[in-house]
Chains A and B, each alone.
Chain A
Amino acid sequence: MKKITLYIDSTHWYAIDANGKWISGCRGSTPDCPLEGVSAWLEGLAHRRHSIAIILSVACVPYLSLPWNVSNPAASELRRSVHEAWHVRGVSRDSHDIRIHWPNYGMPVMTLAYPLALLQGLIAQLGRHKLSSLECSIFALAGRRLKGGGAARELLLLSECDGYSALHVDAGQVVDIEYLKPDGIGLDAVPVWLRRKALEYSDSNAMGWLTGECPDINRLCETLA
């Protein structure tokens, strides 16, 4: 089974067609994430069954960075505290698939909550093709970047059509995540925000854009560079 990537942001979906070109379509705003034209793209692929890896933009996946709690050293207690933190924000285990990145001792806990309605909607639209994995874009890209080792302290930036996000990495461990809307103003305007972060990460190699396989990401990276 050949693995194919489908990238989805707040308004569009992107994928490579049978000719190796990027195609895109609109995405509906309802919770089940209807993708216009995705069935035609799937039919255009070979007739055999494919394994499809879906990548969602950061704006599509609720995330949470929680500080390490000394009183929750056990895995069960950590999991319970994460679920409680999500519950306060109106996210429950019945409505979302909560994923936890198990940190090293003392490090912050990164957690994502995939909406179950979106998951079921996507699986239904894939039809006979198999969903191999569903990932958040910045973590999918940063994972490949960090696998080879990196600087002691760095800021990994990602540009997407529906916003900008950044991972604060300390000794290979993600310690925080930030998200900026594309139309941010004042201190949240991207050029201003970047200058602020440049003061925080003074080393010229400590800030780097993550380039993905999606064309819009590359285009926006070039615009911002």
Chain B
Amino acid sequence: MSSAEFRDLAYVPRHRWRAWILLTASAVIFFGALTWLRHHLDLRMRATTPVKEAGPRVTHPVQENGPLDGLDRTGQERLGNELRMLNRDWSKLLTAMVPQGKNVRLLSLEVNPASGGITVVGQSPDPVAANAYAHTLGRSDLLKEVRLLRIEEEAGSITFEVSAQWQ
């Protein structure tokens, strides 16, 4: 009695098992096709690869090389130190380096991650502000051996250079 014209107005129980069968059949066909394709490609690869002379096959144990193999103790210590330097808290250092006031501006900041040496070039309106900035850096726990290397007057402003050691 079902009519195609108003089929969407009829209640028809849904048969979920049909959907599962369809899904399973699709998966089987898909993986079957995939397996066949792989097998076919393997056969073609074997056909195109030149066959080596037959003989007794000797298998050698494969030695797995570690990343630090070949380095002596000194080299390993040096590498360890460099890695520790690279894994430092860089954000804390940058927070300590940024000047608090607005009158001092940083022009460049060079950090050698291997040695921990820091060179800062900045600009300030007067030498007093540059000295105060260097003094502030000296009081930081992160830095040691803070030295004001250079103070020059250029075009009405003071350019200074500070070196420090990141500890």
Contacts from A to B (Cβ < 8 Å): 3, 5, 53, 55, 97, 99-102, 110-112, 114, 119, 123, 130-136, 139-144, 146-147, 174, 213
Contact residues of B between 1 and 54, Cβ < 8 Å to A: 1-13
Given contacts A119-B11, A133-B12, contact A101 B2 (CB under 8 A): no
Instruction: Give me 19 other A-B pairs in contact (C-beta within 8 A), A135-B3, A143-B5 excluded.
Output: A55-B1, A101-B6, A101-B8, A112-B9, A131-B13, A132-B13, A134-B12, A135-B6, A136-B10, A139-B9, A139-B10, A140-B1, A140-B10, A141-B3, A143-B2, A143-B7, A146-B5, A147-B3, A147-B4
Interface residues of A, dominant DSSP:
strand
Q: What are the residues of chain A within 8 A of B7 when measuring CB–CB?
A: 143
**Which chain A residue has the least Cβ–Cβ distance from B12?**
A133
| Inter-chain contacts of A131 with B (CB < 8 A) | 13
**B5 contacts A135, CB within 8 Å?**
no
A134 touching B11, Cβ below 8 Å: yes
Are A99 and B8 in contact, CB atoms less than 8 angstroms apart? Answer: yes
Q: Which of A99, A146, A174 contacts B10 (CB 8 A)?
A: A99
Shortest beta-carbon distance, B123 to chain A, in Å?
Answer: 62
**Are A135 and B8 interface neighbours, CB within 8 A?**
no
A3 to B9, CA, bound (A): 19
Report how far A99 CA is from B1 CA in the complex, Å: 18
Residues of A within 8 A of B11 (CB): 97, 99, 114, 119, 133-135
Asked whether, in the complex, the Cβ of B10 is within 8 Å of the Cβ of A133, the reply is yes
6 closest pairs, A vs B, by CB?
A143-B3, A143-B5, A134-B11, A139-B6, A135-B10, A143-B6
B3 touches A144 (CB 8 A): yes
A53 CA / B13 CA spacing, docked (Å): 11
| Chain A hits for B3, CB < 8 A | 135, 139-144, 147
CA of A153 to CA of B6 in the docked complex: distance in angstroms? Answer: 18
29 contacts between A and B (CB under 8 A): A3-B1, A55-B1, A97-B11, A99-B8, A100-B8, A100-B9, A101-B9, A102-B8, A111-B9, A119-B11, A132-B13, A133-B1, A133-B10, A135-B1, A135-B2, A135-B9, A135-B10, A139-B6, A139-B9, A140-B3, A140-B10, A142-B5, A142-B6, A143-B2, A143-B3, A143-B5, A147-B3, A147-B4, A213-B1
